[in-house]
Every structure is written in C-alpha cells, then in structure tokens.
Copies of this chain bind each other. A is one copy, B any other.
Amino acid sequence: MAAFFKNRFITNEEALLHVSDLSMQRGYAVFDFLRTVNGTPLFIDDHLNRFYASAEAIHLQLRISRDEIISVIRELIKRSGLTEAGIRMMLTGGYSPDSYTPAEPNLIITCNPVKTATAEDFEKGIAVITYPHQRELPHIKSINYLTAVWLQPLLKEKQADDVLYYNASSITEFPRSNIFIITTDNKLITPKLNVLSGVTRKNIVSIAASILPVEERDISTTELMQAAEVFLTSTTKKIMPVISIDQKIIGDGHPGPITRKLYQQFIAWEKNYLVNR
C-alpha cells in the first residue's frame, strides 16, 4: 500500500506521525474518507468539498490545491494496485511545541483495501440501539469518535450492530452514518441539524426527490419508532436497512419497499457516476 505525507509518496509502513502531533496530544484533526470502484474515486468532489470545509471550520489550512489532491489520490490508487480502495485524507493540528496550540498542519493520505456492504448485507439489515449523545462540533468531520468506540462493549452485550445517537430534542445520526425514516404516509425524512453532512445522504436526498416527498428536519424518538421503514447511509454501507431499534422490530423486520427502491436507484446512480468519469 502507498501513502502520501509531507509532499511525497511513502509506503504504508512509513505512515507515521510523531507523538507530539495534536491528533495524539489533543484529538485535534479532521479527515475524510472515500472509496474507489474499479479504480475510480467515487463522489470525489463532494468528499473534497467537505474535507476543505472541515479544515476551515477547525481553523487548519490545507496548503494543497484540489487538483493536486486529486492527482495524489489517482497516483495512490495506481501504486496500490487496488480496484476497490478506501482513501483517507487526514489533516492534523501539527507538531505543537506546547502540546496545545495548533502548528503547521500535517496532511497524510492513505490508500487501503476497503470492505463495503453487499446486496446480501442489505437483505439482512441491521439491529441498532439508541444512546443519548450529541457529537461535538457535529458539522466538522473530526477524528473524535470517543463515545462511539467506548460503546462497542455495550453493542456486543445488546447484540446490536450500531448505535443511533439522540439529544434532548431529536435523533441525530449514527457514529459513522446518517439516518432516514419513511413515514407511514410515505414521506422520506432525515435530520438536518447537529449532524455531519454525509455524501451518501446528499445523494439519497437528490435521488429520492423524484420518488416521494423529502423533508430535512428534526425527528423525535416517538416519530422514529412509528416509522414504516428506517435506513442508514454511509460511504461503505451505502444504504443499510435498520430492522430493529432497541429490540423493537421496524415494519415486518425486512427491508421495506421504498428502502429497496432507493437502494436500487443508488446502485444505478453510482454506476452512472462512474461511466461519466
């Protein structure tokens, strides 16, 4: 595997940062993650838009142009020899002399094999639990997943696949995915506030507009539990039906018809993106 650090290509084994980096001292770094299909980076513009937005929001400057990053990513894919790869770009607070003040940011881009959800995974769907938590600076794709990783033993104990966060007023998101519900009167709803703007989320909102009414607004836990269908979206999970929440079965416990339709349309949308590159 290949990686990119400090303006040069390195091997994956050389992808090392000194412990004085603010990512390790203070968890201060942003990243973005995209995947490739047959060697083509998927929705790269959306991911770069978000990466630059995260960097700006966290007051870190990316001293590399979009075109340069795209060239680096293409070269990494070529060097890795992978057709299906996960590209991770991370910008950190840098080697801070006082372990607290941001310094010259470190940019590191890695390229590794990636596992994505299959059609069989879609058919099985996932079981989730809910947990009260509001992510810090939710619009920024920071490296802070402290609560998410910390909750893994609870997920195991509850035999759940993922955890849905909620705050005082509404449900928000999964640690690494956005949530959508389909109401019994056939509306598609997804939260807009206090969540990360997912790239797959954005695509689904676009695709769904020609199929059913779409609303981006808060969803209460009551409305969630009354939903006809629930699914999550992410770069690697694409669309994943949620078949139970806190042990309550959603619908008939199988992927619902609208979720299925959106899934098929998303697969087609992805193919269409690739043929137009």
A16 to chain B, nearest CB (A): 4
Q: How far apart sit A22 and B93, CA to CA, in the bound complex (Å)?
A: 17
Contact in complex: A26, B147 (CB < 8 Å): no
Told that A19-B108, A26-B149 touch, could you supply 16 new A-B pairs with CB distance under 8 A? A3-B19, A15-B18, A16-B17, A16-B18, A17-B19, A17-B24, A19-B90, A22-B149, A23-B23, A23-B27, A24-B29, A24-B90, A27-B145, A28-B145, A98-B115, A137-B147
Say how far A120's CB is from chain B's closest CB, in angstroms. 19
Residue A152 at the B interface, CB < 8 A?
yes
**Would you call A59 an interface residue if the criterion is a C-beta within 8 Å of the partner chain's C-beta atoms?**
yes
7 A-B pairs with the lowest CB-CB distances in the bound complex, closest first: A27-B27, A26-B145, A16-B16, A27-B144, A15-B19, A27-B143, A28-B149
Give the chain B neighbours of A29 by CB distance below 8 A. 24, 27
Q: List 13 A-B contacts (CB under 8 A).
A: A3-B19, A15-B18, A17-B19, A17-B24, A24-B29, A26-B148, A26-B149, A27-B27, A28-B150, A93-B149, A102-B149, A136-B146, A142-B146
Cα A248 to Cα B80 in complex, Å, equals 59
Complex CA distance for A31 and B115, rounded to whole angstroms: 32
Chain B, Cβ-Cβ closest to A29: B24
Which among A15, A21, A24, A136 has the highest number of chain B CB atoms within 10 Å?
A24
Quote the shortest CB–CB distance from A82 to chain B (angstroms): 16
CA distance in complex: A144, B133 (Å): 15
